[in-house]
Chains A and B, each alone.
Chain A
């Protein structure tokens, strides 16, 4: 029989009952350039029309490296009604949430108001994107939860935005990106951590962003593949800074989530930090305990893009070090390096660990258990 594949796939999906999961990295997009205008003061609408947006990045306003798929997204994720991938709730429900039985989906809007040189515009755009997340997404699908996007380079206005949203059950975390003007442990960012700790909200650090620095510690690389790999290097610098500046010491209830930067490097970074800390402890006396202890106690990790070593035992060794209670499953939908829920975890994982990996850890961390 001749049937269009797409139709049959859609017809078949509701019949499959799958284990419930959380997806801790979903990227909602705007369908049009002006979709945020209803949430922006006229002053900023006109500012955007006249002056545009200037990011912490030289000469160009797009992403620093061209992407390998349109909008860095799956080619099969264009909504039927038009607009870019990730811009339609009904299609996201049909393609991601329903067939995969996603019970908790955490929205992480990118390219919003972060990394912009005009800090007042940055704050206005972030506030608008937060209103937009409620209006377009979380108020229409209770499975979805929003992230408080904050103007990252102005700690005080970022903290004000967090305090304004604190207690609003639409939001489950504060969102930062890994590329900033300075390493994330620096004091200019402390008001963000303080406000998040007070609000009882984890702070997610998602790969990407604009900081004006070369995207690797050794300069601008030639290839997109180097940007992709470089996300873990960038996140390592951010995490080392958070530990060594004393952020975890100063804010002991703060929880950080490393998003989309891998986790295979976590043990090696922690071992190296511990070793050097033993020798140079007096330089950073405010770091009272071995760095690995802060990392193990205050850091969570999203899984995608999941490390995929040849031997699954190697993966399990890493996870055992991090802790099965620290991983948060994520797909990165609709982006092209999406992880399919049923295909990421090799065989040989206990039922309890599997449940924690896919759902339980996220529910607990985000206060939805």
Chain B
């Protein structure tokens, strides 16, 4: 598993996402209220760019008339067919047994530790003074 430096932290403020290709794989990294999430940007259903969809919540119901709406902003909804996935785990909510989208851990590392490696940062100039978003895959 390699660690990839994908952006200085101030380039990915809360509520934004960044699209990249790492080792031929389309990836998106999200900042949701200061938490970072990496996700394969390809829907396992028919191959759409999943991560271009909106972030919504999870609507669930134990019985008709009762609705719980949780995980606000943590469910990615596919821009084609609307399939929903949990951004933390990649779990599908319409068919969890057959479908899952690959989730990649992402977090912030201080520049000092990034400079030491072993990180892949081909196009990002790294300095010890800044913090960086790192995704593992």
Residues of chain A touching chain B, judged by Cβ–Cβ distance below 8 Å, are 1-6, 8-9, 68-69, 74-76, 336-340, 342-343
Query: Chain B contacts of A2 at CB under 8 A?
Result: 6-7, 20-21, 122-124
Judged by a CB distance under 8 angstroms, whether B71 is at the interface is no
CB-nearest residue of chain B to A334: B80
Chain B residues whose CB sits within 8 angstroms of the CB of A69 once the complex forms? 79, 82
Give A343's nearest chain B residue, CB to CB.
B46
A5–B82 contact, CB under 8 A?
no
B31 at the interface (CB under 8 A from A): no
How many B residues, CB 8 Å from partner?
Answer: 25
8 pairs, CB–CB < 8 Å, chain A vs chain B: A8-B21, A9-B26, A69-B82, A74-B48, A74-B79, A74-B80, A76-B48, A343-B45
B45 contacts across to A, CB distance below 8 A: 343
Which residues of chain B have C-beta atoms less than 8 A from A75's C-beta? Answer: 52-54, 79-80
Min CB distance, B45 to chain A, in Å? 8
Decide if B47 touches A340 in the complex (CB within 8 Å).
Answer: yes
Interface flag for B49 (CB, 8 Å): yes
> A6 touching B49 by the CB < 8 A rule?
yes
Give A47 Cβ to nearest chain B Cβ, in Å: 37
Summed over the interface, the residue pairs from A and B with CB atoms below 8 Å come to a total of 62
- Tell yes or no: B41 within 8 A of A by CB: yes
Contact of B53 with A3 in the complex, beta carbons under 8 Å:
no
A5–B48 contact, CB under 8 A? no
Indicate if B58 sits at the interface (CB-CB under 8 A): no
Question: Nearest Cβ in chain A — how far from B3, in angstroms?
Answer: 14
Quote the shortest CB–CB distance from A5 to chain B (angstroms): 4
Chain B interface residues (CB < 8 Å from chain A): 6-7, 19-22, 26-28, 41, 45-49, 52-54, 79-82, 122-124
Whole-angstrom distance between the Cβ of A26 and the nearest chain B Cβ: 16
> In the complex, are the beta carbons of B46 and A5 less than 8 A apart?
no
Most A C-beta atoms less than 10 A away, residue of B79, B80, B123:
B80
- Tell whether A336 pairs with B82 under 8 Å between CB atoms, given A5-B41, A9-B49: yes
**18 additional contacts (CB under 8 A) given A2-B123, A336-B79:** A2-B20, A2-B21, A3-B20, A3-B21, A5-B19, A5-B27, A6-B19, A8-B21, A9-B26, A9-B49, A69-B79, A75-B80, A76-B79, A337-B81, A338-B81, A340-B46, A342-B47, A343-B46
With a cutoff of 8 Å between Cβ atoms, the chain B residues found around residue A74 in the complex are 48, 79-80
> What distance in Å separates the Cβ of A336 from its nearest Cβ neighbour in chain B?
6
Chain B residues contacting A340 (CB-CB under 8 Å) are 46-48
Take A75-B52, A76-B79, A337-B81 as given contacts and tell me if A5 and B20 are in contact as well, using a CB distance cutoff of 8 Å: yes
CA distance A74 to B28 in the complex (A): 19
- Please tell me if the beta carbons of A76 and B20 are within 8 angstroms of each other in the complex: no
**Distance from A317 Cβ to chain B, minimum over Cβ atoms (Å):** 22
Chain B proximity of A227: nearest CB distance (Å): 15
Chain A residues near B41: list those with CB within 8 A: 5
- Supposing A2-B6, A76-B52 touch, asked if A336 and B80 sit within 8 A by C-beta, the answer is yes
